[in-house]
Amino acid sequence: MADPDSNDTVISGVAPGISRSAPQSKEEVIVISHLYKSFGSNRVLQDFNLTLYKGQNIVVLGKSGSGKSVLIKCIIGLLRPDAGEIFVFGKNVPELNHFALDELRARIGFLFQSNALYDSMTVRDNLEFPLRRHWIQVTQAQVNDMVMEALEDVGLAHTVDMMPVELSGGMRKRIALARTLILKPDIILYDEPTTGLDPITGKEIIDLIVEIQNKYNTASLIISHDMNCVRLASDLVAVLIEGKCYALDTYDRLKSSTDPNVKPFFEQ
Amino acid sequence: MAKTIFNYVKLGIFVIAGMAFLVILLYYIGKNRNIFHPSFLLKTHFQHIQGLQPGNNVRYAGIQAGAVKSINILNDTLIEVVLDIDNKFKNIIRQNARVSIGNDGFVGNKIVNIEPVKEEAALVEEDNVLASKEALDTDAALRTLSGTNQDIADIARELKTLLTNINQNPALVKLVTSDEIPNDIRAALADIRRAAHQLQLSAAEVNTLLDSVSRGKGSLGALFQDTLIYANLLNTSEKIKLAGEESNRITRQVSQVVQSLKDHIDQGKGPVQAILRDSSMTHSLQNSLENIEKGTSSFNQNMEALKTNFLFRGYFRRLDKKEKKDSLRAVRE
Amino acid sequence: MATDTTLKKFLDETGRIAVFTGRFLNEWFRPRYEISEFFRQCYIIGYKSLPLIGLTGFIIGLVMTMQLRPSMVNYGVESQIPAIVGISIIREIGPIITALIFAGKIGSSIGAELGSMKVTEQIDAMEVSGTNPFKYLVVSRVLATTFMLPVLVLLSDCIALYGSYLGVNIKGITSWSLFWNKVFTNLIYADIFPAFIKTFFFGFIVGIIGCYKGYHSSKGTEGVGRSANSSVVVSSVLIFITDLLVVQVTDLIGYG
Ligand SMILES: Nc1ncnc2c1ncn2[C@@H]1O[C@H](COP(=O)(O)OP(=O)(O)OP(=O)(O)O)[C@@H](O)[C@H]1O
Ligand SMILES: [Mg+2]
């Protein structure tokens, strides 16, 4: 589905050479400034800064255990940073109360690294869960339509009445993706969407991510080690080293970088 | 949401079943404790309640009739037990029913037994105090009983003496039949004779009572436990009391008559003198009158002694109360 | 040194459970109310436990009666068996046995369920989906255990007494109505209320400990197993301690 052409369109749509000094007309959806987070003596994030604009895909690269998951959990409010600010749609997440946070979360999709499917529920119930929790006033017919639409997006409409244990790892990842996308969020945070998948399914997922972004003009933060994914889905690549946003640039430029810290990520 | 299909109906049945058992439990316990029946209160007094507790069952002739509502200490020797009795026993329990404390079986709880008595009596009313039957201290009971025995014997003797004195004095007999005695005195004397006859009958009954008491002496416990003898005792004592009342009235009259006769004799003239005419007769009459006076006062003393006896104490107290009430009512009217 | 750290661990754990309980007490009555989840948990926790608890209750009633009989016959108070079994089941055996079975069945399943949800980030996923997982998972379960255990105890009492009725009739003849009459006439409200009220506490303990252990499960499947296991152990011990306290308190206020 996603071919080099569509990929090119994405990049050209964002204007080549986009960087921190991107046109100010672009709407900022996530602004992270001076973020600190540590677990005991384990300093994970130290003075992390990043800005995500509407319609932009940023892929975050980093070694295992460098704090990528911690970063996006801070963004969604699952973890509370020690210091720093995270503005999402202009609201500082660490300072929000439950209600405001829930309101904000309805606009953010979050794909867990471990999928986090509710294994006591069927696929349908898994997908219905965020719908029902966020939009209480939705009718059953609407819910059914949205569930089927989301499942068709990931090509798994036939699994609607299955339990998560009956699905393969890749299918689970796609169901989790469907659950993330069902609310048509304005921001999507993907935690390793392609890990553990065969290259073909991985490619399908990447295509899906790109397609979603085109279709709804969403902003995404993607955590990935998969160079395919980095190459195809990224407008910008952020490299997380020692708790900092060490580098932020396009894939091509970083790939040709000679920086000894950045280079190893692109050598495969 | 979750796929575990769940059934409100089953959950409902489950919860209702549990609650139903609770309700049944509470209802039946309450039923046994008279909570859901209209009920009324009776009271009784004990000197010792043997560990009775509020909530213990009350049985009437062995039938579940209610529960102990409360236990109050009235003073150092008297404990009031309030019984909550099912209304349907209102038409059954009589005021002379006896209350005792017993055990429900070998290891059971304490229970309160209300036992009917063979004699007629009015039905109980709310807040009546029923007589209690306590396990008596044997020695004390024996002493009291022999005391009673003595009192009764004394009274009987006094009555007999009194009557003999009146009946056997020819002067007195003559006076009574004579027309020349003032009417009031004659009427009084006739009254005395009539009453004397009644007293004689009472005296016979006192003897019967004495018999039964002395027969029962051998086994005092049996005497008190046997409701028939006990009822007889009470019944007889009641008659003694009636006789006592009567004799009180009579002795008062006798004193009056004796006084007026004495006056006549002292004056040495008038109808009495005219009838008797003989100074020896006058003398014998004077003696008689003195004896009679002595007899009445001794009789009164014995009556007083009897009043303090525990067997009759309640009776006299009631009598007093009734008299007071009557006089109060008389005053009001 | 070893006891020192054990004591420290124990105190630390106690403090955490206290905080967790405090959080429950602070949150359970505030919106949003997870009513349908509460009923679903009631169904799973209460109704689904009935067969197991009914079976154990039945056996206890039957066995107690059969075990009591020889000595009761010796004392010549055979006729008092229903009264004695009735009092001991209603006052003590019913609540405690049911609570322990309940802790074994429900405490472990809550511990394991929440533990694995925690480990696989399902709890985080719920939070992200606009749900307060504490209310959705913990409050609904704790309330369900608190209200379902008393119902289970009542039914188990009833079934145990039925078992006792059968037990009485194995070697003698006592009519149905005489049996129940004997049971009821020897009971007073002071037997029922403390026994009934303490079952709410037992249910609460099973729920709160199971949820605490699951909710604070350490990562990995081993952590899940430990959560399930320790939630049963801790709640059983707490049930016994509570039982002791209830007896002391009812004694103190003269209800015993
Ligand atoms: N809840 C937590 N408590 C304590 N330490 C944590 C917690 N979550 C993460 N960490 C620590 O934070 C560091 C970063 O973890 P994180 O999960 O963000 O890594 P990651 O970059 O996502 O790695 P991977 O690519 O393997 O997923 C790790 O050292 C981890 O031990
Ligand atoms: Mg991670």
Chain A, 58 to 117: residues with Cβ < 8 Å from chain C are: 73, 76, 78, 98, 102, 105-106, 108, 110, 112-117
Decide if C189 and B26 are in contact by the 8 Å CB cutoff.
yes
In angstroms, what separates the C-alpha of A196 from chain B's closest C-alpha? Answer: 28
Question: Pick from A78, A116, A130: which is nearest to C130 by CB?
Answer: A130
Q: Is the CB of A68 under 6 A from ligand 1?
A: yes
Does the pLDDT at position C68 exceed 50? yes
Kindly give, in sequence order, each residue whose CB lies less than 8 Å from that of residue C89, ignoring residues fewer than 6 positions away: C60, C61, C64, C157, C160, C161, C164
3-class DSSP assignment, residue B90: coil
Q: Does A129 touch chain C (CB under 8 A)?
A: yes
Q: Which two tokens stand for residue B193?
A: 């004779």
Q: Is the CB of A73 under 6 A from ligand 1?
A: no
Kindly give, in sequence order, each residue whose CB lies less than 8 Å from that of residue C177, ignoring residues fewer than 6 positions away: none
Decide if A120 and B4 are in contact by the 8 Å CB cutoff.
yes
CA torsion through residues C70, C76, C78, C80, sign = negative
Residues A53 and A135 reside in one and the same domain: no
Q: Distance between CA A7 and CA A234 in Å, rounded? A: 9
Strand partners of residue B78: B75
Does the pLDDT at position B299 exceed 50? yes
In angstroms, what separates the C-alpha of C70 from chain A's closest C-alpha? Answer: 51
**Surface-to-core class of residue B308, CB atoms within 10 Å of its CB (0-12 exposed, 13-18 middle, 19+ buried):** exposed
Which pLDDT band, with edges at 50, 70 and 90, does A17 fall under? very low
CA torsion through residues A138, A139, A143, A149, sign = negative
In angstroms, what separates the C-alpha of B89 from chain C's closest C-alpha? Answer: 19
Q: If you take atom 2 of ligand 1, which residue's CA is the nearest one? A: A39
pTM above 0.80, yes or no: no
Q: If you take atom 26 of ligand 1, which residue's CA is the nearest one? A: A64
For residue A79, give its domain range: 1-107+185-256
Q: Distance between CA B170 and CA B177 in Å, rounded? A: 11
Q: Which two tokens stand for residue A252?
A: 């091509």
Q: Is the CB of A243 under 6 A from ligand 1?
A: no
In a domain, B145, yes or no: no
Q: Does A119 touch chain C (CB under 8 A)?
A: yes
Q: Which two tokens stand for residue C242?
A: 């509570």
In a domain, B319, yes or no: yes
In a domain, C27, yes or no: no
Residues B48 and B92 reside in one and the same domain: yes
pLDDT value at residue B328? 67
Considering only residues C192 and B258, tell me which one the structure prediction assigns the higher pLDDT.
Answer: C192
In a domain, C16, yes or no: no
Identify the residue whose tokens are 């769940």: B6
Identify the closest residue of chain C to B17 by CA–CA distance: C155
In a domain, B157, yes or no: no
Kindly give, in sequence order, each residue whose CB lies less than 8 Å from that of residue C64, ignoring residues fewer than 6 positions away: C85, C88, C89, C93, C160, C164, C167
Considering only residues C41 and B288, tell me which one the structure prediction assigns the higher pLDDT.
Answer: C41
The ligand whose atoms approach the alpha carbon of A44 most closely is 1
Length of chain B: 333
Ligand 2 centre to CA of A74 (Å) is 13
Which pLDDT band, with edges at 50, 70 and 90, does C73 fall under? confident
| Gyration radius (Cα) of chain C, Å | 21
Residues A155 and A176 reside in one and the same domain: yes
Instruction: Point out the least confidently predicted range of B47-56, B62-71, B189-198.
Output: B189-198
Residues B89 and B3 reside in one and the same domain: no
Q: What phi, psi does A194 have (nearest 5°)? A: -115, 0
Last residue of a domain, one of B86, B105, B138: B138
Considering only residues B143 and C195, tell me which one the structure prediction assigns the higher pLDDT.
Answer: C195
**Would you give the DSSP letter of residue C89?**
I
Mean residue pLDDT of chain A comes to: 83
| Gyration radius (Cα) of chain A, Å | 18
Decide if B29 and C47 are in contact by the 8 Å CB cutoff.
no
* Structural domain count of chain A: 2
Residues B72 and B10 reside in one and the same domain: no
Question: What are the start-end ranges of the E strands in chain B?
Answer: 39-46, 57-60, 63-75, 78-86, 98-103, 110-115, 129-132
CA torsion through residues C52, C57, C58, C60, sign = positive
Does the pLDDT at position B172 exceed 50? yes
**Other residues' Cβ atoms within 10 Å of the Cβ of residue B8:** 12
In a domain, C22, yes or no: no
Residues B257 and B320 reside in one and the same domain: yes
pLDDT value at residue B204? 61
Ligand 1 centre to CA of A172 (Å) is 22
Instruction: Point out the least confidently predicted range of B276-285, C29-38, C153-162.
Output: B276-285
Kindly give, in sequence order, each residue whose CB lies less than 8 Å from that of residue B318, ignoring residues fewer than 6 positions away: none
Q: Among A68, A80, A189, A190, which is best to mutate for testing ligand 1, by the most ligand atoms less than 8 A from CB?
A: A68
Identify the closest residue of chain A to C125 by CA–CA distance: A116
Q: If you take atom 20 of ligand 1, which residue's CA is the nearest one? A: A65
Residues B16 and B48 reside in one and the same domain: no
Closest among A44, A42, A29 to A244, alpha carbons compared: A44
**Would you give the DSSP letter of residue B270?**
S
Residues A101 and A140 reside in one and the same domain: no
Across residues C139-163, what is the average pLDDT? 96
**Surface-to-core class of residue C43, CB atoms within 10 Å of its CB (0-12 exposed, 13-18 middle, 19+ buried):** buried
Q: Distance between CA A79 and CA A73 in Å, rounded? A: 6
Q: If you take atom 3 of ligand 1, which residue's CA is the nearest one? A: A39
Q: What phi, psi does B92 have (nearest 5°)? A: -120, -45
Q: Is the CB of A220 under 6 A from ligand 1?
A: no
**DSSP sequence for B98-120:** EEEEEESSSS--EEEEEE--SS-
Decide if C90 and B17 are in contact by the 8 Å CB cutoff.
no
Decide if B1 and A121 are in contact by the 8 Å CB cutoff.
yes
pLDDT value at residue A23? 43
Closest among C144, C149, C146, C162 to C50, alpha carbons compared: C149
Last residue of a domain, one of B97, B120, B138: B138
At C90-125, the pLDDT tens digits run 999 999 999 999 999 999 999 999 999 988 889 999
Decide if A116 and C124 are in contact by the 8 Å CB cutoff.
yes
Residues A233 and A128 reside in one and the same domain: no
Task: Note whether B65 and B59 are within 8 A (CB).
Answer: yes
Describe the strand order of the beta sheet including A236-241 as a list of residue ranges. Answer: A108-111, A187-191, A219-223, A57-62, A236-241, A244-249
Does the pLDDT at position B122 exceed 80? yes
Last residue of a domain, one of A148, A164, A184: A184
* Structural domain count of chain B: 3
Which pLDDT band, with edges at 50, 70 and 90, does C77 fall under? confident
| Gyration radius (Cα) of chain B, Å | 31
Last residue of a domain, one of A148, A167, A184: A184
Query: How wide is the angle at C-alpha C192 spanned by C-alphas C191 and C196, nearest 5°?
Result: 130
Residues A193 and A165 reside in one and the same domain: no
Residues B17 and B87 reside in one and the same domain: no
CA torsion through residues B179, B181, B182, B183, sign = negative
Considering only residues B178 and A78, tell me which one the structure prediction assigns the higher pLDDT.
Answer: A78
Kindly give, in sequence order, each residue whose CB lies less than 8 Å from that of residue A254, ignoring residues fewer than 6 positions away: A237, A239, A247, A262, A265, A266
Does the pLDDT at position A22 exceed 50? no
Whole-complex ipTM:
0.85
Considering only residues C211 and B181, tell me which one the structure prediction assigns the higher pLDDT.
Answer: C211
Task: Note whether A11 and A213 are within 8 A (CB).
Answer: no
Decide if B25 and C186 are in contact by the 8 Å CB cutoff.
no
In a domain, C11, yes or no: no
**Other residues' Cβ atoms within 10 Å of the Cβ of residue B166:** 23
**Surface-to-core class of residue B10, CB atoms within 10 Å of its CB (0-12 exposed, 13-18 middle, 19+ buried):** middle
Which pLDDT band, with edges at 50, 70 and 90, does B201 fall under? low
In a domain, A265, yes or no: no
Closest among B163, B190, B127 to B295, alpha carbons compared: B163
Alpha helices, DSSP H, located in C122-139: 122-128, 133
Residues A157 and A232 reside in one and the same domain: no
pLDDT value at residue B270? 59
For residue C191, give its domain range: 36-252
Identify the closest residue of chain C to B3 by CA–CA distance: C40
For residue B20, give its domain range: 1-30
* Structural domain count of chain C: 1
**DSSP sequence for chain A:** ---HHHHHHHHHHT-TT--TT--TTSPEEEEEEEEEEEETTEEEEEEEEEEEETT-EEEEEE-TTSSHHHHHHHHHTSS--SEEEEEETTEEGGG--HHHHHHHHTTEEEE-TT----TTS-HHHHHHHHHHHH-TT--HHHHHHHHHHHHHHTT-GGGTTS-GGGS-HHHHHHHHHHHHHTT--SEEEEESTTTTS-HHHHHHHHHHHHHHHHHH--EEEEE---HHHHHHH-SEEEEEETTEEEEEE-HHHHHT---TTTHHHH--
Residues A47 and A152 reside in one and the same domain: no
Q: What phi, psi does B82 have (nearest 5°)? A: -100, 125
Identify the closest residue of chain A to B3 by CA–CA distance: A121
Q: Which atom of ligand 1 is nearest to the CA of A79?
A: 1
Which pLDDT band, with edges at 50, 70 and 90, does B106 fall under? low
Task: Note whether C150 and C199 are within 8 A (CB).
Answer: yes
Q: Distance between CA B221 and CA B14 in Å, rounded? A: 59
Which pLDDT band, with edges at 50, 70 and 90, does A6 fall under? very low
In a domain, C65, yes or no: yes
Q: Does B269 touch chain C (CB under 8 A)?
A: no
Q: If you take atom 4 of ligand 1, which residue's CA is the nearest one? A: A39
> Which partners does chain A have (≥3 C-beta pairs < 8 Å)?
B, C
The ligand whose atoms approach the alpha carbon of A226 most closely is 1
pLDDT value at residue B123? 87
**What is the number of CB-based contacts under 8 A between chain A and chain C?**
48
Q: Which atom of ligand 1 is nearest to the CA of A240?
A: 21
In a domain, C103, yes or no: yes
Does the pLDDT at position B206 exceed 90? no
Kindly give, in sequence order, each residue whose CB lies less than 8 Å from that of residue A33, ignoring residues fewer than 6 positions away: A49, A84, A85, A87
Length of chain C: 256
In a domain, B183, yes or no: no
Question: Pick from C40, C155, C188: which is nearest to B21 by CB?
Answer: C155
Alpha helices, DSSP H, located in B169-226: 170-177, 183-217, 220-225
Q: What phi, psi does A249 have (nearest 5°)? A: -160, 180
Residues A35 and A139 reside in one and the same domain: no
Residues A13 and A90 reside in one and the same domain: yes
Last residue of a domain, one of B138, B165, B191: B138
The b/e string for A216-236 (b: 16+ C-beta within 10 A; e otherwise) is eebbbbbbbbbbebbbbbbbb
Q: If you take atom 18 of ligand 1, which residue's CA is the nearest one? A: A67
Considering only residues C173 and B143, tell me which one the structure prediction assigns the higher pLDDT.
Answer: C173
Decide if A163 and B3 are in contact by the 8 Å CB cutoff.
yes
Last residue of a domain, one of A184, A208, A241: A184
Residues A117 and A206 reside in one and the same domain: no
CA–CA distances in Å: residue B240 to residues B292, B322, C202: 20, 18, 70
**DSSP sequence for C196-215:** HHHHHHHHHHHHHHHHHHHH
Residues A100 and A62 reside in one and the same domain: yes
Decide if C50 and B2 are in contact by the 8 Å CB cutoff.
no
- Domain with residue A210: its CATH number is 3.40.50.300
Largest CA distance in chain A: 56
Residues B235 and B277 reside in one and the same domain: yes
pLDDT value at residue A7? 37
Q: Distance between CA C215 and CA C228 in Å, rounded? A: 11
Residues A74 and A177 reside in one and the same domain: no
pLDDT value at residue B222? 46
Task: Note whether C190 and C254 are within 8 A (CB).
Answer: no
In a domain, B242, yes or no: yes
